[in-house]
Structure 1
Amino acid sequence: MRTASLSRRLFTGTLLASLLASGAAQAQTTVRVGSKIDTEGSLLGNLIIQVLEAGGIRTENKVQLGNTKIVRGALMAGEIDIYPEYTGNGAFMFSVEKDPVWKDAKAGYEKVKALDFQANKIVWLEPAPANNTWAIAIRKDVATANKLKTLDDMGRWIAGGGKFKLAASAEFVERPDALPAFQTAYGFKLKQDQLLTLAGGDTTVTIKAAAEQTSGVNAAMAYGTDGPVAALGLVVLDDTKGVQPIYAPAPIVRAEVLEKHPKIRDLLAPVFRTLDGPTLQSLNARIALGGEDAKKVAASYLKSKGFIK
């Protein structure tokens, strides 16, 4: 009896160990995909998930996790494995904002790719050709009435007492390479009552606030690939001094994860090559204005290009 009981215990222990090992192995083979909280973040995150799944890589959906600081922190802490980032953010991440390399798409990519791998063992995969740079958009009626076409025009207009109120995220207001950089270059300084600071980083919300004149807002933080700008009656003012770096979207992945799943690189590269500015504007507009689900928009695009069935 004792022998039988011992055998059962040994069998049970072996089975439990096997199940635990299997669970651990499964966890290790699951790639956790994150993204930023905005419309484009959700789109790109879902594109990554669906392409990896179609390529036989199991994923865990952690899209729209938060702003840049939160998502970047999660990657660094090993809480997520991959997410779409922007090349120009390398200037801020590595405190080299004054380096002119960020104004060149290829050189900026190579710079952040080298810096991030050396410092953090994070791999930057092939970027998209789109430039999702930060911009300021203003209501078209205000721009027309005051002959505002560039940020130079806007700076002079504000300095001369023009009625201006900007909807933006806290990140845009506070980051030295965002609003502060525009203010320094174009000679204006917004007071607190000229700002409506909104939670998160979704430019759809800021653009709608300007379109609807929420709390007197007539201008908005925007991105170069935003779909809603023209559709909601706003215009992007030209950054004639080239204040902003080039922000090309690219998947970034922890090196140890890429070593386990090397085909991630080849699966994502052809997809990101197709994402130029007009393409992202169109896809973003379907989500932000058309009310379509980002997951469905990603799927329809990937199917139309033959990346998934």
Structure 2
Amino acid sequence: MTRTRFLAAGLLLAAVVPLAACGGGSDPLAPATGAGGGSTGGSTGGSAAGSVKIGSADFPESALLGEIYAQALEAKGSTVARQFNIGSRETYLKAISGGEVDVLPEYTGSLLTYYDKASTVTQPDEVYAALQKAVPQGLTVLDKSVAEDKDSIAVTKETASQWSLKAIPDLAAHQGELTLGAPPEFKTRQRGLVGLKSVYNVVPSQFRPLQSQATVEALKNGQIKAANIFTTDPSIAANGFVVLDDPQSLFGSDNVVPLVRTDKADALKATLNAVSAKLDTPALADMVKQVVVDKKDASEVAKTWLASSGLA
């Protein structure tokens, strides 16, 4: 998603009102309201974690994960302030480094390439080990989950058939007529246009910076030929999009992982590591579908999963 995560947020962003751009206010770190985007509050109590500020990126899955973390900590007695919908990685990492938030849901591979653009590891454990070394002083990653959501390049069935597409490098033969849609930050990221050129020699003739449902609609309507979409995005199955193979692992592995301020790590790790131990890809994809397609409230979806997992 361009963990960039979208992999264009597409249908996801349209369905969760609190995650529409940076909260709509002049202050991107102003607490969001409403269950889906989070609200400041939580139980008071004697938890060792005390008061915790949890942030998220500006796409629904990230806020859903933030809500899961928040409710898990509240169940252990922490007071939680939700600062969801901050923006892209370039923005929300400044928030955690500056102390505006204490916890962020992140993705191992995307975060690693942000901090270490020269990294070439792609396997989950190797990526996690490298990430532990790459995060700057003052920040720590807790246990990664097996749940994974990563960037992909998707096309319609018609385009896949017309251009005989099975994998990303197949796009090179058609790049003269290739228009690619993705979030704006995809243009300058290694897991984006930079990597498409260096790894696959694919340079789209046109890049269209798109957010939210606009990406999915543009792909459906033929306004773009390929789109950057998260692999857990329900729009892929709903529209029969074809996710192209990534034989050189440009997008690598991207396991969900809590990024926390080091001074909070000891107090938070037992609870958040327990969440990571239970979370897997099918569960994550199902929860995203419930929020986006079934229009369920994100806080209720998180509550139900935590209860079923024995975490709340």
- Using structure 2 for the length normalisation, give the TM-score: 0.78
Aligned-residue offset at 1:88: 1.3
- The yes-or-no answer on 1:184 pairing with 2:201 is no
Question: d(CA) in 1 for partners of 2:65 and 2:151?
Answer: 17
Amino acid at match of 2:182: A
Partner of 2:154: 137
Q: Please say if residues 36 and 63 of structure 1, whose CA atoms lie closer than 8 Å, have aligned partners that are also in contact.
A: yes
Per the alignment, residue 98 of structure 1 pairs with 118
**In 1, Cα distance between the equivalents of 2:283 and 2:216?**
19
Of 208, 223, 237, 1:196 maps to 208
> How many percent of aligned residue pairs carry the same amino acid?
27
Over 3 Å counting, the alpha-carbon distance change for 1:188 and 1:107 in structure 2 is closer
Q: 2:269 aligns with which of 265, 281, 290?
A: 265
Choose from 224, 229, 235 the match for 1:222. 229
User: What is the CA-CA distance between 1:212 and the residue it aligns to?
Assistant: 4.1
Shift of 1:230: 1.6
Unaligned runs of 5+ in 1: 1-24
Number of corresponding residues: 266
Q: CA deviation at 1:265?
A: 1.2
Pairing of 1:47-66 with structure 2 (within 5 A): 47-66=68-87
Partner in structure 1 of residue 287 of structure 2: 283
Paired with 2:296 and 2:214, the residues of 1 have a C-alpha distance of: 16
Confirm or deny that 1:112 pairs with 2:116: no
- Given candidates 112, 124, 127, the residue that maps to 2:141 is 124
Report the AA paired with residue 243 of structure 2. V
TM-superposed deviation, 1:77: 0.3
Letter in 1 for 2:91: I
Return the offset for 1:195. 2.4
Deviation, structure 1 residue 165: 2.3
- Paired amino acid for 1:169: P
The structure where helix makes up a greater share of residues is 1
User: 1:68 aligned to 78, 82, 89, which one?
Assistant: 89
Instruction: Kindly state the Cα deviation for residue 205 of structure 1 after the two structures are TM-superposed.
Output: 4.7
| Superposed CA offset, 1:156-196 (max 9, x none) | 2x14x4x43222101112213322201332222123xx322
Give the conservation status (yes or no) of the 8 Å contact 2:112–2:134: no
* 2:253 maps to which of 233, 246, 254: 246
Decide whether the 8 Å contact of 2:169 with 2:202 is kept in 1. Answer: no
- C-alpha separation in 2, matches of 1:71 and 1:62: 10
Q: Evaluate the alpha carbon distance shift between residue 205 and residue 247 of structure 1 in structure 2; reply closer, same or farther with a 3 A threshold.
A: farther
Larger radius of gyration, structure 1 or 2?
Answer: 1
TM-superposed deviation, 1:149: 1.2
Q: Aligned equivalents of 1:274 and 1:225: distance in 2?
A: 17
Separation in structure 2 between the aligned mates of residue 70 and residue 186 of structure 1, nearest angstrom: 29
Preserved CA contact (<8 Å) 1:227 1:283: no
- Shift >6 Å, 4+ stretches: none
Contact 1:124 1:250 in 2 (8 A): yes
Q: Which runs of 5+ in 2 are unaligned?
A: 1-45
TM-score, normalised to structure 1, is: 0.79
